[in-house]
Amino acid sequence: MRYFPAFHDLSTRPSLVVGGGEAAARKLRLLLKAEARPLVVAPGAVDEIVGLAREGRIDWQARAFAPADIAGCGLVIAASGRDEIDTAVSEAAQAAGVPVNVVDRPELSTFITPAIIDRDPLVIGISSGADAPILARQIRARLESLLPANLGRLARFAGAFRGAVAAQIGDGLQRRRFWERFFSGPVADKVLAGDETGAREAMLSLINGRAAQQIEGGSVAIVGAGPGDPDLMTFKALRRLQEADVVLYDKLVGPEIVDYARRDAERIYVGKSKANHAKTQDEINALMAEHALAGRRVVRLKGGDPFIFGRGGEEMDYLQARGIAVEVVPGVTAAAGCAAAAGIPLTLRGTALAVTFLTGHAKDGEPELDWASLAAGKQTLAVYMGVSTAGTVAQRLIEHGLSAATPVAVIENGTRPEQKVVTARLEELAGRLQEAGIAGPALIIIGEVARRALESDLAAELQNAAAALPRALAV
Ligand SMILES: C[S@@+](CC[C@H](N)C(=O)[O-])C[C@H]1O[C@@H](n2cnc3c(N)ncnc32)[C@H](O)[C@@H]1O
């Protein structure tokens, strides 16, 4: 993040706008919304600025900028449109340590202004860090249509009850839960529908009723985060993540997904890495239980789907045996994500009538699998954790009757920007993986469904070889 987002209180400090044209008028509208009373310095000004000065909403001094104008300002905007003036304003402000924005000149600015959605007192700022302001504006347009116009009224309504809620519900965690329920519950709906009297009555009984209730216990949501692309998370996964007090996450869950957790949520890495010793499953279970029993909402965040090679079942059993409330939120499993990302259907009418998810993980070099049934025809095999045992898997399948020429596609880091797809015939699989430096996480898809991918790779290879031929002959 190149820019730090913050909201300035300009109601108590002077602000300065240098320039009297349309750009200055636009910035003034914004400052006036924030209850500022800006000083405008410009020899001439457009009608709008003259009018604002006449109404006493701004001060306008019809003269050139002087560095002394900066003194005591909370914020400065240079909008003269003249390079030498805007540069002088920027230099003077920076020398005085006052935040400065020069219109359309991020290199001269120490802050930039975001696209704004105004549901006062709720304000949303959207910034592309000056790289793509049009994109920021398009996002604003989309959000504008999603957010009810009455949202500001809802925020004010909640603000009016903050003290009463705090007096009734002393515990911070319980209070946060109360508000989370409030904003997605029927009282908030009443406010948004304009029925403030009904909402007020309902709110009072909600607060009083809530105070009489027992303190709630914690819970664990075992959440599938999908194969890597954050857009493949479900809405429910996102919601649970944003509600969580504690997040325990695995190596396969990227930081861009963990970042959806609340800023004040505790984040505990429980995956394996070279620098960080793995937590054992027993330690992870104990950690989840400890936090949930202390009344916290725990999210156990896992790559893909928690119930597919994710040990979600064991964790659920452990927690339920201790009387802890458990919810499982499914995720897009690696086979589904990788197949889609590589354009390989897992089933295909007449060609692949079944798909089997299997693990290549092996304690003693050989996974314990029913090779004969896996080698039986018209099915797709999706092999998880199979990079190191790929040679053995291929050999056993061939021994049990699967054609050595069966197409295979290996998708490493599927759905992520660094995704790599390698194809091979079954008999060449181990060699191709080594040659391509596939280290994982990778999913191996074995079956006729991978034929198109294999053939287009072979065609590309042939084309490259043909292109290289005249050069080779010329040498
Ligand atoms: C312990 S399993 C977890 C599977 C996970 N629960 C799921 O449903 O996808 C880890 C294996 O999943 C596969 N995997 C997970 N994410 C992947 C990705 N983005 N690309 C390729 N394979 C992936 C790899 O085979 C990896 O070794």
Least confident of 8-17, 123-132, 438-447: 123-132
The rounded Cα 303 to chain-centroid distance in angstroms is: 15
Q: For residue 215, what pLDDT is reported? A: 47
Taking the C-alpha atoms of residue 224 and residue 109, their distance in angstroms, rounded to an integer, is 42
Q: For residue 277, what pLDDT is reported? A: 62
Ligand 1 centroid to residue 452 C-alpha, Å:
23
DSSP strand pairing (442-446 vs 379-384): antiparallel
Q: Is 415 in the pocket of ligand 1 (CB under 6 A)?
A: yes
Q: Is 360 in the pocket of ligand 1 (CB under 6 A)?
A: no
Residue of 309, 359, 408 to mutate, ligand 1, most atoms within 8 A of C-beta: 309
Q: Which residue's C-alpha comes closest to atom 10 of ligand 1?
A: 385
Least confident of 19-28, 159-168, 408-417: 159-168
Q: For residue 287, what pLDDT is reported? A: 96
pLDDT-derived band at 17, boundaries 50, 70, 90: very high
Q: For residue 331, what pLDDT is reported? A: 98
pLDDT reading at 217 higher than 80: no
- The strand pairing partners of 248, in sequence order, are 268, 300
Q: What is the mean pLDDT of residues 106-122?
A: 91
Q: Is 441 in the pocket of ligand 1 (CB under 6 A)?
A: yes
pLDDT-derived band at 214, boundaries 50, 70, 90: very low
- The strand pairing partners of 424, in sequence order, are 408
Ligand 1 centroid to residue 77 C-alpha, Å:
51
Ligand 1 centroid to residue 333 C-alpha, Å:
7
Backbone angles phi and psi of 113, in degrees to 5: -100, 135
The closest-lying atom of ligand 1 relative to the alpha carbon of residue 414 is: 20
Tens-digit pLDDT profile for residues 409-463: 999 999 999 999 999 999 999 999 999 999 989 999 999 999 998 888 888 878 8
pLDDT, the chain, mean: 91
pLDDT reading at 4 higher than 80: yes
Percent of the chain residues past pLDDT 90, beyond the cut: 70
Q: For residue 146, what pLDDT is reported? A: 79
Taking the C-alpha atoms of residue 372 and residue 69, their distance in angstroms, rounded to an integer, is 85
Taking the C-alpha atoms of residue 248 and residue 250, their distance in angstroms, rounded to an integer, is 7
Provide the 10 A C-beta neighbour count for residue 402: 21
Taking the C-alpha atoms of residue 225 and residue 261, their distance in angstroms, rounded to an integer, is 12
Tens-digit pLDDT profile for residues 259-285: 999 888 999 999 865 455 678 999 999
b/e per residue 410-445 (b: at least 16 CB within 10 A) = bbbbbbbeebebbbbbbbebbebbeebebeebbbbb
Helices (H), 322-406: 334-342, 371-375, 390-399
Q: What is the mean pLDDT of residues 244-259?
A: 94
Active site residue 250: yes
Active site residue 378: no
Compute the Cα dihedral for 173, 174, 177, 183 and give only its sign: negative
pLDDT-derived band at 465, boundaries 50, 70, 90: confident
Q: Is 312 in the pocket of ligand 1 (CB under 6 A)?
A: no
Taking the C-alpha atoms of residue 136 and residue 143, their distance in angstroms, rounded to an integer, is 11
pLDDT reading at 372 higher than 90: yes
Percent of the chain residues past pLDDT 70, beyond the cut: 96
Taking the C-alpha atoms of residue 218 and residue 289, their distance in angstroms, rounded to an integer, is 9
Nearest one of 88, 69, 74, 66 to 31, comparing CA atoms: 74
pLDDT-derived band at 177, boundaries 50, 70, 90: confident
